């Protein structure tokens, strides 16, 4: 996860500290405003029920659905809690708050050791599973836990089962909410079987994956995966295969009822990419909760002698996406105790002596995977629906692309791609109208303006369509991404980058400088509008502006809308939505009021958030004399209708008659066709711009 946009904030609201998805039994339990509702099994093997985990100074009521003050001990005379807890008065009755190694007895006034009668067959030690509070055996070398976890069975492999448990570091009292089991009993043949189960609030997921490694044991030969997930009232199914050859990775994957096939080429002499599977990837980005197999292979791929930051080739089997992931040895890393950092995902992985991840900590999310005791995961998934091929239309070919570099005002070196229309052989080149595709602070690279939806190479596809229609374009990597150098982050700096890009575009061969246009997406409109307001610079005049799903003003309300609209589409209750968006609302208010205590929030420095949250571009948009197209889709879960109204109101106030507002039916924020009920699932299939969006953009350019 690199940078948050309004779309990413929507996911953060749903996923405050998790990597998963499920139904919503906790939505109507607010724990008296002094705790958090989680699903807990009251006894081993029982179904999980909503239960309050209470703040300090409060204790759960007998029902477990309220948090009552815990400093009243008037009813606790003679209640010892078996010597393993503290008695409090709750709802007129004494109740024990038990120590971590014990669980509350049925009478509510005793603390029971679940391991009291579990001997682990004499070949291990019993401990309480923090996820279920049940007894579990940690077995000696040569033994593995039985299916019920209460015995140790002999096995020929001393490390036959690895298990991770997912917990919250900022709310340790909330317990764990998922675990991964990895069966390595066939590791000598390179076969690894992983099962994953996550269940937290309204989010849940099940995953089974079978990895087959090559003879070296350090690269993937083939992979199958099967996944079922639910979010609120929406559920989905996924499955797929990956087969690796010397020259490519062949992927076939099904998302709900759509089946896609993708061939990812491998450069000559390059190592096969590593599979990034597992964890929470909706909508299209992950918190870094990847498979332990992925982290193990990264450790084997990382050159510890060379050190420093290295780029590891990877692919996402669930989306047909190839990408590079930055990896660097952490300052705490030693040969005996490797520690790798993944800057793009704010993740730090500590390995044990056998090369398996011991902990995976998501420092920006308060989430940690820990190697611990737990039973193997049992999965029972619904059948896959019948699948039909999904073959998006390929963008036009023939554009003449050239890599260019240019320098921003603060000397930051930037790089981009100039895409020109194809020229007729032997003809004299004629000056071409051109469009600057404005990059913004959350862009992944020059092709992908949405880092949280990395399959959506919107700018690359748009450049191809523009070239086919006779328009040149320049798309560029944001500072610190792709081939552009890093530099200070501020709205002014990104505006200066856009101005430098516009100057570079105007100075390129065969460009008609009297017909230059800006195009921005989402929050990138803050940069484009700021550029229009501050002057063009160096004689590069902007004739017209295209704002795709723009952010014009009142950014705090827009960010909250993005969070709530997504959850409303998933069928979450109003109570749950309010509870989940409150931390975002509080953080936004603190940033605006200069009372936020951290130096950054969700991947951006706080001063830049201050600029974005207080940005008001309505007047500048209205004052721009050139023609303006505001384009959005009626199934957009990110841009509130108020933003479109702000654009038209600004034009009306300034007597600007050349602003065109076009709303396309069934087109999402990514300009891909889809409905709200899809919850961005189609955006994770191979990408294509919807033809109605291309027609609207190209038609407006030709008319203006």
pLDDT range class, residue 365, cuts 50, 70, 90 = low
- DSSP, collapsed to helix, strand or coil, labels residue 517 as strand
* Beta carbons within 10 angstroms of residue 410's beta carbon: 14
The kind and range of the H/E element at 499 are helix 491-506
pLDDT digits 0-9 by tens, 237-252 = 889 999 999 999 999 9
d(CA 101, CA 115): 9
Q: Is 651 left (phi over 0), alpha (psi -120 to 50) or beta?
A: alpha
Range name among 11-20, 333-342, 379-388, 686-695 with the lowest pLDDT average: 11-20
The residue with greater pLDDT, 544 or 16, is 544
d(CA 41, CA 125): 23
Give pLDDT, residue 47: 65
- pTM of the predicted structure, to 2 decimals: 0.76
Give pLDDT, residue 426: 63
| Closest residue by Cα to residue 348 from 336, 365, 335 | 365
Asked whether the predicted pLDDT for residue 539 surpasses 80, the reply is no
d(CA 343, CA 328): 8
Q: Does the N-terminal peptide bond of residue 283 adopt cis geometry, omega within 30 degrees of 0?
A: yes
Q: What is the mean pLDDT of residues 4-23?
A: 36
Give pLDDT, residue 11: 37
Asked whether the predicted pLDDT for residue 131 surpasses 80, the reply is no
First-to-last C-alpha distance (Å) of the chain: 39
The kind and range of the H/E element at 401 are strand 400-407
Asked whether the predicted pLDDT for residue 15 surpasses 50, the reply is no
Q: Is 94 left (phi over 0), alpha (psi -120 to 50) or beta?
A: beta
Range name among 33-42, 313-322, 516-525, 527-536 with the lowest pLDDT average: 33-42
Token pair, residue 2, equals: 């690199």
The residue with greater pLDDT, 32 or 12, is 32
What is the percentage of the chain residues whose pLDDT exceeds 90? 42
Give pLDDT, residue 70: 64
The residue with greater pLDDT, 82 or 362, is 82
pLDDT digits 0-9 by tens, 572-619 = 778 778 877 888 889 999 999 999 988 888 778 899 999 999 999 999
pLDDT digits 0-9 by tens, 277-304 = 875 554 434 567 788 999 999 999 999 9
Give pLDDT, residue 460: 96
d(CA 525, CA 513): 22
Q: What torsion do the CA atoms of 18, 23, 25, 30 make, to the nearest 10 degrees?
A: 40
- All domains in the chain, ordered by first residue: 45-112 (no CATH), 120-206+273-371 (no CATH), 400-423+432-553+615-703 (3.40.50.1820)
pLDDT digits 0-9 by tens, 47-81 = 677 788 887 767 776 667 777 766 667 788 889 99
Give pLDDT, residue 627: 96
pLDDT digits 0-9 by tens, 85-127 = 888 876 677 888 787 678 888 888 899 888 888 888 998 888 7
pLDDT averaged over the chain? 83
The residue with greater pLDDT, 140 or 227, is 227
pLDDT digits 0-9 by tens, 517-528 = 999 999 999 999
Q: What is the mean pLDDT of residues 190-206?
A: 80
pLDDT digits 0-9 by tens, 148-183 = 778 888 876 555 567 777 776 555 445 567 778 888
pLDDT range class, residue 629, cuts 50, 70, 90 = very high
What is the percentage of the chain residues whose pLDDT exceeds 70? 85
Half-sphere exposure of 157 (CA within 13 A, CB side): 12
């Amino acid at each position: 996860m690199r940078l948050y946009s309004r779309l990413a904030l929507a996911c953060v609201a749903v996923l405050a500290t998790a990597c998963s998805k499920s139904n919503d039994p906790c939505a109507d339990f607010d724990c008296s405003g002094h705790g958090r509702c989680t699903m807990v099994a009251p006894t081993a093997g029982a179904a999980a029920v909503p239960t309050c985990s209470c703040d300090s100074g409060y204790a759960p009521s007998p029902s477990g659905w309220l948090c009552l003050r815990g400093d009243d001990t008037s009813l606790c005379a003679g209640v010892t809690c078996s010597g393993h807890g503290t008695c409090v008065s709750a709802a007129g009755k004494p109740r024990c708050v038990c120590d971590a190694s014990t669980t509350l007895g049925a009478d509510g006034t005793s603390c029971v050791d679940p391991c009291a009668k579990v001997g682990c067959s004499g070949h291990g030690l019993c401990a309480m599973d923090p996820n279920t509070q049940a007894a579990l055996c940690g077995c000696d070398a040569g033994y593995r836990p039985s299916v019920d976890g209460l015995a140790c069975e002999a096995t020929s492999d001393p490390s036959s089962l690895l298990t991770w448990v997912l917990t919250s570091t900022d709310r340790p009292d909330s317990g764990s909410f998922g675990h991964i089991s990895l069966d390595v009993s066939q590791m000598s043949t390179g076969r690894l079987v992983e099962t994953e189960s996550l269940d937290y609030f309204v989010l849940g997921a099940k995953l089974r994956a079978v990895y087959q490694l090559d003879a070296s044991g350090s690269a993937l030969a083939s992979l199958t995966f099967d996944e079922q997930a639910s979010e609120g009232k929406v559920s989905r199914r996924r499955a797929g295969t990956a087969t690796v050859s010397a020259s490519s990775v062949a992927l076939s994957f099904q998302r709900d009822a759509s089946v896609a096939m993708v061939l990812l080429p491998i450069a000559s002499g390059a190592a096969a990419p590593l599979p990034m599977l597992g964890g929470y990837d909706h909508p299209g980005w992950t918190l870094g909760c990847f498979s332990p197999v992925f982290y193990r292979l990264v450790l084997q791929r990382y050159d510890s002698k060379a050190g420093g930051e290295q780029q590891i080739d990877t692919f996402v089997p669930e989306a047909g996406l190839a990408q590079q992931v930055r990896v660097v040895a952490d300052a705490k890393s030693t040969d005996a105790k490797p520690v790798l950092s993944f800057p793009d995902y704010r993740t730090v992985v500590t390995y044990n002596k056998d090369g398996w991840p011991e902990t995976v900590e998501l420092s920006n999310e308060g989430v940690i995977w820990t190697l611990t005791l737990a039973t193997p995961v049992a999965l029972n998934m619904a059948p896959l629906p019948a699948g039909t091929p999904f073959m998006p239309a390929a963008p036009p070919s023939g554009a003449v692309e050239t890599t260019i570099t240019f320098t921003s005002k603060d000397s930051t070196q930037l790089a981009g791609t100039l895409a020109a229309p194809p020229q007729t052989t032997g003809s004299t080149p004629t000056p071409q109208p051109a469009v600057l595709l404005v990059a913004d602070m959350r862009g992944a690279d020059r092709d992908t303006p949405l880092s949280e939806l990395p399959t959506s190479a919107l700018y690359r596809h748009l450049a191809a369509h523009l070239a086919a229609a006779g328009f040149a374009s320049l798309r560029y990597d944001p500072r610190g991404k792709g081939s552009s150098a890093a530099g200070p982050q501020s709205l002014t700096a990104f505006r200066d980058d856009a101005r430098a890009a516009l100057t570079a575009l105007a100075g390129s061969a065969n460009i008609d400088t009297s017909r230059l246009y800006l195009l921005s997406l989402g929050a990138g409109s803050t940069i484009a509008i700021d550029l229009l307001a501050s002057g063009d610079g160096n004689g590069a005049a902007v004739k017209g502006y295209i704002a795709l799903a723009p952010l014009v003003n009142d950014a705090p309300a827009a960010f909250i809308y993005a969070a709530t609209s997504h959850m409303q589409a998933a069928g979450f209750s109003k109570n749950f939505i309010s509870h989940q968006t409150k931390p975002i609302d509080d953080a936004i208010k603190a940033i605006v009021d200069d009372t936020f205590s951290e130096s950054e929030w969700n991947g951006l420095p706080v001063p830049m958030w201050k600029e974005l949250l207080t940005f008001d571009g309505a007047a500048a948009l209205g004052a721009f004399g050139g023609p303006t197209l505001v384009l959005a889709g009626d199934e957009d879960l990110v841009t509130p209708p108020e933003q479109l109204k702000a654009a038209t109101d600004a034009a009306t106030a300034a007597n600007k008659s050349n602003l065109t507002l076009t709303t396309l039916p069934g087109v999402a924020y990514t300009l891909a066709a889809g409905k709200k009920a899809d919850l961005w699932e189609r955006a994770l299939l191979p990408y294509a711009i919807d033809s109605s969006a291309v027609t609207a953009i190209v038609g407006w350019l030709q008319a203006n």
